Amino acid sequence: MTASDTTRLGILTSGGDAPGMNAAVRAVVRAALDQGMDVYAIYEGYQGMVDGGDRIRKMSWNAVGGIMQRGGTVIGTARCATFRTRAGRLQAARNLLQHEIDRLIVIGGDGSLTGADLFRREWPGLLAELVERGEVSQAVAARHPQLMIVGLVGSIDNDMAGTDMTIGADTALHRITQAVDAISSTAASHQRTFVIEVMGRNCGYLALMGALATGADWVLIPECPPDTDDWHDRMCQMLRAGRQAGRRDSIVIVAEGARDRQGNPISSEYVRQMLEERLGEDARVTILGHVQRGGAPSAFDRTMSTLLGYAAVEELASATPDSEPLLIGMRNNRITRAPLMRCVEQSRAVADAIAAHDYDRAIELRGGSFREAYEALRTLVRTLPRPYGAGQQQLRLAVLHAGGPAPGMNTAVRAAVRLGLDRGHTMLGVQNGFQGLIDGDIRALDWMSVSGWASMGGAELGTSRKVPGGSDLYAIARTIEAQHIQGLFIIGGWSGYQAAHRLYRERDNFPAFNIPIICLPASINNNLPGSELSIGADTALNNIVEVIDKIKQSAVATRRCFVVEVMGRMCGYLALMSSLATGAERVYLPEEGIMLRDLEADLSHLVDGFQQGKRLGLMIRNEQASAVYTTEFISALFEEEGKDLFEVRQAILGHLQQGGDPSPFDRIQATRLAARCVDFLTAEAGKTSSAGAFIGLQAGHVKFSSLEDLPRMVDEAHQRPKEQWWMELRPIARVLAQPAPRSGQEHDRPQATENART
Ligand code: ATP
Ligand code: MG
């Protein structure tokens, strides 16, 4: 093959670094090699492109091994003034053509992507000049008449249109929630007020979601300045009332770009002074700063970036000189493509609107879920419920859990209780799931009884897998009548859905069951119908990924293969996603089962790999992938056959997967879904035939499905939904994990079009 036949692709990271960039680089390199392209890393962003030389390096399959768990970007990033000049870009074009690179994947913010677009537009002119100067031959120039580019957004701020999440934003939220949780505990010990400043010059995303996830008491963001000039008084009143109601700490989160209606900056120090003066108590400022950028990427940032990188290569592989430059992002839980510059312009429009004090437009441009989150937060931070409006229907609503514990259950209860109280309802907490409903173990929950629950793992109300049957149903009917329960809110997993369906079906026999019933998906297994994601799964995934990082580190010195067993029951979601996020070379799923010939093939791959110098192997097995080929069996088999070449260890992760404080994503979604469930119960109560439903996230939107349809939507025998969107990601995991393809080896090439939040 001559140089001209092989497609050559360059990848660079530019602007501020963001956790997850490495996963994107790894995916780009491996997907490109898989497609038969040559791939070059351009080190130090545009600076490396201008400098050329060894800053532009051809990448191999193994060169990107073991980088996914690292923060920042291993290929470096920079801000480069020279690239802003035409002379700089001329030099950059020459350096790319030396390697005959005419396709670029740029991972950066709005600036980097604008630079890439300008470079692309100038390309023909730059080439003509280089030919004229004799620096590039006519033939080379003729072979690369156009530069083809694809952009991915790397930025912790989540400030770009065209993608719901930018690479790094989820990890930054993790850092913020960890820090705020930690500060809350010390603040509570001393009854102090803390003002916490988070990043975000023109974008309040991190501040708003951070506040929602941690149960902070007040938030100041650029898009929504306080709506009155006496906001100081209102804020102090609220904090004071909180103290009187029994709160021990007060947390105010300030985005670095916060401002008032007139556009005057509101600094964290200003807020601190104001609080100290008016409240007469100790107030401290913590500026989180670069901590937010640092550290290992979250599971989501690893998987999303991997899917984005894969899709970017797919796009460039089929690009032609007149293809429009695209931005690859994730919208509504699917990988999407949008015109690059339209996205950049839309993002800038928000900044422009803020600068022009047109805040209504700014928040409108941010989209519906941003506003939804802001409205929910405004209610949740109130110390005490609003006084009841005249004519408002006041209901008695019961909240309970069912199924295994899932991080985020408490968060959902807190939101349900406060939003319910805010509407004038009485909120009843049922202890220990359906057993509590049978026994009448119920107490009213007031506003402060759920204080601090936003960030708490476990399930304070208790949960059980009890699915009521027989005489239980009479007992439940009695409790419902005795307690005058007018709506049932079940936050839980598989057995909760079964129980709800049973009550729903028995409505003719038990008139008491003729009340609205709603289920909110909370299960680490992500095995519930009607929702692409269930609450708790993201936390479990992060738990798994963190432990696997440690397991991998423990093996630096020896040649070792780990067989890691993860939970999920008959659903392979956790296994597949953790394999994508850790770069495991093999994943065993219950959906596929395990065959002896699979194990033989995997073993021979392992032997090959270790013979070629590989030092670490990682296989992930779902706990019920096979009844016969257990984790122990597979480990023993590999150990025996690995002989002196490698040793094998098994790691059964167990219950640590269910524990821990909920991740920011689980907290935010739990809050969002709980709010909608309270709306549902409020709207349905009192109708002659009450509805039973389960809520969920489908393609990024909140959807309700009728309990009527439950049997149709599930595979009862395997206790999982019939349709599982993430199954289509399997081939991508396979492509990226297998060792460098040798020539002549063919395998199916998956499409990345319909991928998702992982
Ligand atoms: P972030 O703001 O998230 O940190 P960014 O990509 O917006 O990331 P910038 O500093 O704006 O960061 O841009 C990074 C680099 O991209 C610049 O140093 C410069 O080399 C190049 N660049 C930015 N804007 C342009 C432009 N208009 N023309 C040419 N190059 C540009
Ligand atoms: Mg920028």
Instruction: Give 728-742 as a DSSP string.
Output: GGHHHHHHHHS--PP
Closest of 621, 538, 521, 630 to residue 572, by C-alpha: 621
353 pLDDT tier (thresholds 50, 70, 90):
very high
741 pLDDT tier (thresholds 50, 70, 90):
very low
> pTM for this structure?
0.94
302 CA distance to ligand 2 middle (Å): 22
- Quick one: tokens of 582? 């850790």
Query: Is 671 a residue whose pLDDT tops 50?
Result: yes
Work out whether the CA dihedral 423, 429, 434, 437 comes out positive or negative: negative
Q: Report the C-alpha gap between 133 and 443 in whole angstroms.
A: 84
* Residue 121 backbone zone (phi > 0: left; psi -120 to 50: alpha; other: beta): alpha
The ligand that comes nearest to the alpha carbon of residue 109 is 1
Which of 13, 14, 156, 290 has most ligand 1 atoms within 8 Å of CB, for mutation? 14
The ligand 1 atom nearest the CA atom of 79: 18
Query: Is 745 a residue whose pLDDT tops 50?
Result: no
Region 65-71: mean pLDDT is 93
Residue type, 589: L
Residue 383 is predicted with a pLDDT of: 66
Q: How many contiguous H segments (helices) and E segments (strands) does the chain have?
A: 24, 24
Which of 84, 152, 293 has most ligand 1 atoms within 8 Å of CB, for mutation? 84
Could you report the per-residue pLDDT of 305-338, keeping only the tens digit for each? 999 999 999 999 999 988 899 999 999 888 999 9
739 pLDDT tier (thresholds 50, 70, 90):
low
Region 167-175: mean pLDDT is 97
β-pair partners for 167: 154
168 CA distance to ligand 1 middle (Å): 17
234 pLDDT tier (thresholds 50, 70, 90):
confident
Could you give the angle at the alpha carbon of 618 between the alpha carbons of 617 and 622, nearest 5°?
A: 155
Query: Is 589 a residue whose pLDDT tops 50?
Result: yes
- Quick one: tokens of 738? 């297998």
Q: Using a CB cutoff of 5 Å, list residues around ligand 2, an ion.
A: 109-111
Q: What is the CA radius of gyration of the chain?
A: 27
269 to 184, 233, 276, 283: CA distances (angstroms): 19, 17, 11, 10
Q: Report the C-alpha gap between 589 and 587 in whole angstroms.
A: 6
Q: Which residues form ligand 1's pocket by a CB distance below 6 Å?
A: 14-16, 46, 79-80, 83-84, 108-112, 114-115, 118, 155
492 CA distance to ligand 2 middle (Å): 41
750 pLDDT tier (thresholds 50, 70, 90):
very low
The ligand 1 atom nearest the CA atom of 83: 20
194 pLDDT tier (thresholds 50, 70, 90):
very high
Residue owning the nearest CA to atom 14 of ligand 1: 15
Query: Is 476 a residue whose pLDDT tops 80?
Result: yes
78 CA distance to ligand 1 middle (Å): 9
* Crossing angle (nearest 10°) for helices 368-380 and 359-366: 110
- Sequence-separated (6 or more) residues with CB below 8 Å from residue 226: 220, 234, 235, 260, 261
Helix (H) or strand (E) holding 65: none
Residue with the larger pLDDT of the pair 751 and 137: 137
Residue 747 exposed, middle or buried by CB count within 10 Å (0-12, 13-18, 19+): exposed
Query: Is 226 a residue whose pLDDT tops 90?
Result: no
Q: How far is C-alpha 13 from the geometric centre of its chain's CA atoms? A: 21
The ligand that comes nearest to the alpha carbon of residue 16 is 1
Q: How far is C-alpha 480 from the geometric centre of its chain's CA atoms? A: 38
Region 467-494: mean pLDDT is 97
Residue 749 is predicted with a pLDDT of: 45
> What share of residues in the chain are helix, strand, coil (percent, to 5)?
45, 15, 35
Region 360-375: mean pLDDT is 86
Residue 245 is predicted with a pLDDT of: 79
Q: Report the C-alpha gap between 131 and 121 in whole angstroms.
A: 17
Structural contact between residues 520 and 412, judged by C-beta atoms closer than 8 angstroms: yes
Region 641-661: mean pLDDT is 93
User: Helix, strand, or coil here: 452?
Assistant: coil
β-pair partners for 9: 39, 103
The ligand that comes nearest to the alpha carbon of residue 166 is 1
Residue owning the nearest CA to atom 26 of ligand 1: 115
Cβ neighbours, 10 Å, residue 188? 16
| In the chain, % of residues over pLDDT 70 | 96
Write a three-state SS string for 515-535. Answer: CCEEEEEECCCCCCCCCCCCE
Q: Report the C-alpha gap between 431 and 401 in whole angstroms.
A: 8
351 CA distance to ligand 2 middle (Å): 11
154 CA distance to ligand 2 middle (Å): 10
Residue owning the nearest CA to atom 4 of ligand 1: 16
The ligand that comes nearest to the alpha carbon of residue 80 is 1
Q: Report the C-alpha gap between 468 and 451 in whole angstroms.
A: 31
Which of 50, 51, 79 has most ligand 1 atoms within 8 Å of CB, for mutation? 79
Which of 50, 51, 112, 163 has most ligand 1 atoms within 8 Å of CB, for mutation? 112
Residue 390 is predicted with a pLDDT of: 59
Could you report the per-residue pLDDT of 696-710, keeping only the tens digit for each? 999 888 999 999 999
Cβ neighbours, 10 Å, residue 728? 15
Residue owning the nearest CA to atom 30 of ligand 1: 115
User: Helix, strand, or coil here: 76?
Assistant: coil
Query: Is 678 a residue whose pLDDT tops 90?
Result: yes
Query: Is 755 a residue whose pLDDT tops 70?
Result: no
229 pLDDT tier (thresholds 50, 70, 90):
confident
Structural contact between residues 201 and 291, judged by C-beta atoms closer than 8 angstroms: no
- Sequence-separated (6 or more) residues with CB below 8 Å from residue 694: 497, 500, 518, 519, 520, 521, 528, 529, 530, 531, 704, 705, 707, 710
Q: Report the C-alpha gap between 312 and 9 in whole angstroms.
A: 11
Residue owning the nearest CA to atom 20 of ligand 1: 80
Positions marked active-site? 157
666 CA distance to ligand 2 middle (Å): 28
Closest of 604, 744, 731, 678 to residue 307, by C-alpha: 731
The ligand 1 atom nearest the CA atom of 157: 3
- When the pLDDT of each residue in the chain is averaged and rounded to a whole number, the result is 92
Query: Is 1 a residue whose pLDDT tops 50?
Result: no
Residue 133 exposed, middle or buried by CB count within 10 Å (0-12, 13-18, 19+): exposed
752 pLDDT tier (thresholds 50, 70, 90):
very low
- Quick one: tokens of 688? 């002659």
Residue 272 is predicted with a pLDDT of: 96
Could you report the per-residue pLDDT of 246-284, keeping only the tens digit for each? 777 889 999 999 999 889 999 999 999 999 999 888 899
Under DSSP, the state recorded for 403 is: S
Could you report the per-residue pLDDT of 608-626, keeping only the tens digit for each? 989 988 889 999 999 999 9
Cβ neighbours, 10 Å, residue 134? 7
* Residue 306 backbone zone (phi > 0: left; psi -120 to 50: alpha; other: beta): alpha
370 CA distance to ligand 2 middle (Å): 21
Structural contact between residues 242 and 217, judged by C-beta atoms closer than 8 angstroms: yes
371 pLDDT tier (thresholds 50, 70, 90):
confident
Phi, psi of 636 (to 5 degrees): -65, -40
- Quick one: tokens of 479? 């409790």
Residue 378 is predicted with a pLDDT of: 83
Which residue pairs, CB below 8 angstroms and at least 24 apart, start in 689-692?
A: 689/514, 690/514, 690/515, 690/516, 690/517, 691/516, 691/517, 692/500, 692/501, 692/503, 692/504, 692/516, 692/517, 692/518
Helix (H) or strand (E) holding 184: helix 169-190
Region 122-136: mean pLDDT is 97
Cβ neighbours, 10 Å, residue 715? 16
Residue owning the nearest CA to atom 18 of ligand 1: 79
Query: Is 758 a residue whose pLDDT tops 80?
Result: no
Could you report the per-residue pLDDT of 395-409, keeping only the tens digit for each? 999 999 999 999 999
Residue type, 487: G
Could you give the angle at the alpha carbon of 625 between the alpha carbons of 546 and 727, nearest 5°?
A: 75
User: Helix, strand, or coil here: 134?
Assistant: coil
